[in-house]
Amino acid sequence: MKMKLRGEIMIRAIHARACCAFFMLLLVMASAGATRGQQTTSFTYQGRLTDAGAPANNNYDLQFTLWDAAVGGTQQPQPAPNALTKTNVAVTGGVFSVLLDFGVSAFPGADRFLEVGVRPGGSGGAFTILSPRQQISSTPYALRALNATAAASLSSACIGCVTDSQINSVAASKLTGTIPPSSLPTDSTSYIQNRSTTAQSNANFNISGDGTAGGTLTGNVVNSATQYNIGGSRILTATGGNVTANGVGPVVNSNTFAGVDAGASVIPNATTSAGNFNTFFGVKAGMNTAKSVAATPFDGCCNSFFGNLVGLKNTTGHSNAFFGGATGIGNTTGSFNAFFGDGAGSDFFDPTAERTGSLNTFIGFLSGGGVTTGASNTFLGANTSGTSNLTNATAIGAGTTVAQSNSLVLGNNANVGIGTSAPASKLTVVGLIETTTGGVKFPDGSIQTTAAVGGGGVPPGSPNYIQANPLTPQAGVSFNIGGNGTSAVTLSGNVVNAATQFNLGGQRMLSLSGAPTFTSSFFIGPGAGQNETLFPSGEGRQNTFAGISAGNKNQTGIRNAFFGNSAGFNSTGSFNAYIGTRAGLFHTTGQLNAFIGVDAGLNIQTGSENTFLGVSAAGYGKTGNDNTFVGFSTGFPNSLQTANSMGSNNTLLGANASLLAENLNFATGIGANAVVNANDMIVLGKVAGTYNGVARPADNVQIPGDLNVCR
């Protein structure tokens, strides 16, 4: 310890002398470098070490480090500082000499301090650090730049004396001034050149931010990754989907949206139908559908919403068909509903009244009012209403209200006529009224289950017979007959209960399939649903067919709604909605279709998830899936009457908008007489030609404001 402490004090003085020795050595090295051209970065360090006050005579290990401060600081050189260790250095008479080399980067001109550690030679112990560190002055380490010899020959007046061939590279950050266009190579692939006439060949651009054009942005194809906006609001989106054999495999983004915020929150599932197969047309139509990750495979899928605010609050509800302004506005999770007419399925257009009921059919302005959680109800007529949790209730006629489940109410305080067009009482029947079980119940509560005796001499008011032409109701009398009953004039009663059906002129006009339950089907009109087999043996159930021969061939299909003469005549599928005479007439198999209009989908035979709206919409073509045609006579033109496949995922919007080829996919035609003839094509407007005897030019497409394109 004495040797180390004294050595520390002694080395301080030696530091000063070492600096002089270092300085002298550097002068010699510089001179040698100028003479031999062999300048290095090493230098000799000479010092004196005493032990117990006497000059040391032994071998010692010495360690040298370089710092940028007298105390603390950062060891040098950076970024890789090093410690120079000299082992078994001979110290004779207290004097030693070592050769040190910290490298040229250690001496950039900033302050430098040398720190020395000492220990007995070969001991392997810790070094004793001598302090303080000694500063190395700038003169001793002013090493000559190794590559400065050639630069020394340049004149101080050298301006422009260095040519291009002598410059390897210059950092771009060192450049100033303007590069003239003539100095830039034409048609380079490294930059986009400002041109107003000719196109720059081989040039593309791809940016991660936004791009704005103050004038007109033009291109052969304008491809939007997700949607088109006007004034910052989305006006058109047609997200594509994966097509796989037989419908097996992942399905993503098979939706069609048109209108500001239509389907704005839809998150399609990558592996199931959830959030897919939706068609939304109108401002905010279905804007909250499938807004979060789906919990079940069908959440928020397969909906058809047409009109402003239609299905506004729908979240996970699926397989709904809503048509008309604010139709189904409050539906959230209800599924398999069919609402037609402004405000149908809502409470005076109130979006705060949420509904969760399923399998309801509401047709007419504000039809279905008050039904929030009920299911399998059918309301036909404006302002038809019921209570919140009805099941299998039917109200027919404007303003009709039904207040209990499993009930059918005809008219709002109206007379009902069967076999007559002018009923004079609550129920006027021209023809046979038959009851097979249960009998007839009278206002006094009595039930007649057997036929009354005839003949005179029977006491009046007897409960055992029906008295002829009573002036007042006969108390305690019911009748139940095994044969037929016929009234030449009017048969009246508070309730007329038919076990199976109501007939007019011998033809079935109104019936249910089986007992009135959640699974029953409802038929109106001769031949409507006459071949349906009863649930559970035949599985046909929950269908609503209205019109002569509507749904005539259906046996096992479920949850269909057909309205109109021969609508869905041949259909055996499920979850279909056909409205209009002969709508879907020849359709046999397929599901989740919506055909609205006379002859809509007339000739299609197989296909699913199609939406045809308009007279003769998709009138030709025998197969097709996921197509949306809106407008008079949309689909194949007369020249393709015998065409087979309409393809899939096609969209036509406008009277006479048509496909000019079979088997098209993702073809879109928008505008009256728009014609599309290739896959993955969007056509806006008609071509020049003669329409209705008048020659007309091709349509112009005008987009006010800027058009932002993401590519």
Q: Is the pLDDT of residue 250 over 60?
A: no
* Average pLDDT over every residue of 154-161: 58
Residue in the block written with tokens 């040698």: 32
Q: Is the pLDDT of residue 567 over 80?
A: yes
56 in Cβ contact with 91 (< 8 Å): yes
Percent of the residues in the chain that have a pLDDT greater than 70, as a whole number: 75
The dihedral region occupied by 685, where left means phi > 0, alpha psi between -120 and 50, and beta the remainder, is left
Q: Within a 13 Å sphere around the CA of 439, how many CA atoms are in the beta-carbon half?
A: 14
586 in Cβ contact with 570 (< 8 Å): yes
H or E, element range at 60: strand 58-67
Residue in the block written with tokens 């983004």: 253
Using CA atoms, how far apart are residues 390 and 368, in angstroms rounded to an integer? 11
Using CA atoms, how far apart are residues 589 and 571, in angstroms rounded to an integer? 6
594-616 per-position pLDDT tens digit: 999 999 998 999 999 999 999 98
CA distances from 291 to 237, 268, 281, 287, 296 (A): 17, 9, 18, 8, 14
CA 373 to chain centre: 28
**Amino acid 324: pLDDT:** 93
Characterize the bridge pairing of strands 54-55 and 112-120: unpaired
Q: What is the dihedral of CA 495, 496, 500, 504, to 10 degrees?
A: -140
* Average pLDDT over every residue of 506-530: 70
Q: How confident is the model at residue 409 (pLDDT cuts 50, 70, 90)?
A: very high
607-645 per-position pLDDT tens digit: 999 999 999 898 898 999 999 999 999 988 888 888 888
Q: What is the DSSP string of 450-496?
A: SPPP-STTPPTT-TTSPPSS-SS--TT-----SS--EESS----S--
For 424, other C-beta atoms within 10 Å of its C-beta total 11
Q: Which SS3 state, helix, strand or coil, does residue 83 take? A: coil
Give the residue among 381, 370, 340 at the shortest CA–CA distance from 594. Answer: 340
Using CA atoms, how far apart are residues 222 and 228, in angstroms rounded to an integer? 10
Q: Which SS3 state, helix, strand or coil, does residue 546 take? A: strand
Using CA atoms, how far apart are residues 612 and 629, in angstroms rounded to an integer? 5
Q: What CATH fold (topology level) applies to the domain 2-136?
A: Immunoglobulin-like (2.60.40)
195-209 per-position pLDDT tens digit: 767 777 767 878 888
Handedness of CA 107, 113, 119, 123 (dihedral sign): negative
Q: How confident is the model at residue 579 (pLDDT cuts 50, 70, 90)?
A: very high
List phi, psi (to 5°) of 577.
-130, 115
Lowest mean pLDDT among 536-545, 550-559, 574-583: 536-545
Using CA atoms, how far apart are residues 205 and 193, in angstroms rounded to an integer? 11
Residue 491 forms beta bridges with which residues?
none
Query: Which residue blocks in 182-309 are alpha helix, DSSP H?
Result: none
* Average pLDDT over every residue of 298-318: 94
**Amino acid 37: pLDDT:** 45
Q: Is the pLDDT of residue 388 over 90?
A: no
**Amino acid 22: pLDDT:** 32
**Amino acid 182: pLDDT:** 66
Three-class HEC string of 409-448: EECCCCCEEECCCCCCCCEEECEECCCCCCCEECCCCCEE
Q: Is the pLDDT of residue 288 over 90?
A: yes
CA distances from 515 to 402, 434, 542, 562, 613 (A): 19, 16, 12, 21, 34
State the amino acid at position 498 in one-letter form.
A
* Average pLDDT over every residue of 31-55: 67
Q: How do the domains of the chain map onto residue ranges?
A: 2-136, 592-711
